[in-house]
Amino acid sequence: MKKIIVSILVFAFVNAKAQDKFSLGIKVGQNLSTVSNVYVDHNAASYHVGVVAQFGITKLISIVPEIILSQTKLEAAPDPLGLSVNTITKPETYHLNYLAIPILVQVKPVKGLLFQAGPQYSILIDQKKDGIENATFAFKSGEFAMVAGAKVDLGGFFLYGRYVVGMENISTGQQLNNQITDQSSWKTKQWQLGIGMTLFNF
């Protein structure tokens, strides 16, 4: 996978240099996340912020690599039925902070409108838990996902929306305090909405 990504970036850079088609920008927006088989918390709001580059291959097609700091928020109920009133089994709110690296193919069918799709790999860099509950989940260090969305170019600024579908279970299936018995597969689904600005355009 790494060799494929590097090959795509090298190919894109060579072509972009030959055509003088390269841009660099920044972006910020909101995440609306859902985690399958988690009993509480659907479409929880969090954030993302990052840097986006664009390498032109042709007039209509570009390669768009990004580096994004993205947060997935989830509230997990240790009791699958949500019936327990014990302090230990109350829902726990987690904030999972990822360094996400999507490599997208961008197509421009008409001026100002662009469609994007491609793979994304996210590295878990930090996790925080709110509240005073004792139970703690163990999360995997990375997640592979697929991304699809659209962007509206406003000339120096852009608006975008995309859908990110996790392809892997983000839970290790381990509970550090042995308080939770659910071993279900937790896969993320996330809407991302935001605005960006192009800083350099060559």
Instruction: Give the H/E segment covering residue 134.
Output: none
Q: In this predicted structure, what is the pLDDT of residue 180?
A: 46
**Residue tagged 């490599």 (tokens):** 103
Q: In this predicted structure, what is the pLDDT of residue 182?
A: 52
Domains of the chain: 2-201 (2.40.160.20)
What CA–CA distance (Å, rounded) separates 192 from 52?
15
Q: In this predicted structure, what is the pLDDT of residue 178?
A: 44
Within 8 A by CB and 6+ apart from 195, the residues are 27, 28, 29, 157, 158, 159, 160
Q: In this predicted structure, what is the pLDDT of residue 16?
A: 44
The DSSP 8-state label assigned to residue 131 in this structure reads S
Per-residue pLDDT of the chain (202 residues; tens, 9 = 90+): 555 555 555 554 555 444 458 999 999 999 998 887 665 556 788 999 999 999 999 989 999 999 999 998 887 665 444 444 444 456 678 888 999 999 999 999 999 999 999 999 999 998 887 754 544 567 888 999 999 999 999 988 999 999 999 998 888 766 544 444 455 678 889 999 999 999 988 8
Q: In this predicted structure, what is the pLDDT of residue 140?
A: 86
On whether the CB atoms of residues 110 and 71 are closer than 8 A, the answer is: no
Q: pTM surpassing 0.85?
A: no
